[in-house]
Amino acid sequence: MLKVNQYCVRMLWVSRMQAVLIFVAVLLGGSPVFIDDARADNDDQTPAGSAVQPLHILIVGDSTVKEYLPGKMSASYVELRGWGQYLSDYMVDGSVRVTNLAQGGRSSKSYIVEGLWHKALNVEPKPDYVLIQFGHNEIPNKGWHRETQAGVVPEVLPGEGIGHEPMDWYRNNMRTYVATARRAGVVPVIVTAMERRSFNSRDEVRRKNLPWAEAAIAVGEAMDVSVIGLNDYSAELLNELGMDGCLFMHPTREGEVDNTHYNEHGARIYAEYVAEQLGQVVPAFSGLVSLPDVRTIEQARGAGE
């Protein structure tokens, strides 16, 4: 109980505005990022690289991106996979190095508060690019330490509830990721979070993550950041496949389908899409993408039949 109380006190303390500004100031080694700081200069430069030096890609995000290692998973959940662990499979051999530091259950807020972002930016060797995907754990009922508001940040914050602190606002957090990555010499790329296998009575995907995807796109446009629209792609794919048709993408746990996470089929489908889009929206990757002759979705469909 003492440990729990100490953790709560720490989380409450760091959620205060002053603590947020101090944290970001220390991280930047200079001035803090304020809630309207969309003015950070876009000094993204394509890393020069070389034939013998692969581009280093850092990935941060949640459980849908995370790498799941054999032997470190529950016996009842061995199918679980994240798209980040397969990204390098769709790049030319030796052209990239991937460091996947995504962690399950994290939101744009909690990943910073827990110090995970600070550790990620200090990984060695220094990354050239960072792919940032948050959105799954921002939604209501995820707990005050994870939930964020997707809307435009008001000039005057509410006096209470989710939204009364700067880090309660998803757009603030995404701006911080972008600004701090750039100041560390790392080029940010935003990836919007995919939708869950959740359908309405008309057999249409419920777009629960869409508000945060739209907020991520808005930040990308305001700060001149490349954005990979995984949210729209996932919705289109799930609507095409239907409620039953997309079952082959999802793992089961104790006989129950996990509608949020993915097995190898689902993770590879999304990894391939992210790789393909990297080659289109980031010039440095235009010649590094290596897609299969038979696309992953078709291979997975065949295996699921």
pTM, two decimals, is 0.83
So what's the pLDDT on residue 255?
83
Tell me which long-range contacts 112-120 makes (C-beta under 8 A, separation of at least 24).
112/23, 112/167, 112/173, 112/176, 113/11, 113/14, 113/15, 113/145, 113/167, 116/60, 117/27, 117/60, 117/177, 117/180, 118/27, 120/58, 120/60
Tell me if 31 is assigned to some domain: no
Tell me if 294 is assigned to some domain: yes
* Residues forming beta bridges with residue 227, ordered by sequence position: 190
Over residues 63-97, the pLDDT tens digits come to 999 999 876 666 667 888 999 999 999 999 999 99
**Burial class (CB within 10 angstroms; exposed 0-12, middle 13-18, buried 19+) of 206:** middle
| Cα 240 from Cα 204, distance rounded (Å) | 9
Q: CATH number of the domain that 90 lies in?
A: 3.40.50.1110
Tell me if 263 is assigned to some domain: yes
Give the domain extent around 82. Answer: 49-304
Q: Work out how many domains the chain is built from and give that number.
A: 1
Tell me if 92 is assigned to some domain: yes
Tell me if 5 is assigned to some domain: no
Tell me if 157 is assigned to some domain: yes
Tell me if 30 is assigned to some domain: no
Tell me if 37 is assigned to some domain: no
Those residues of the chain that have pLDDT short of 50 are 1-39, 48-50
Angle at 230 between CA 228 and CA 234, to 5 degrees: 160
Average pLDDT value over all residues in the chain: 83
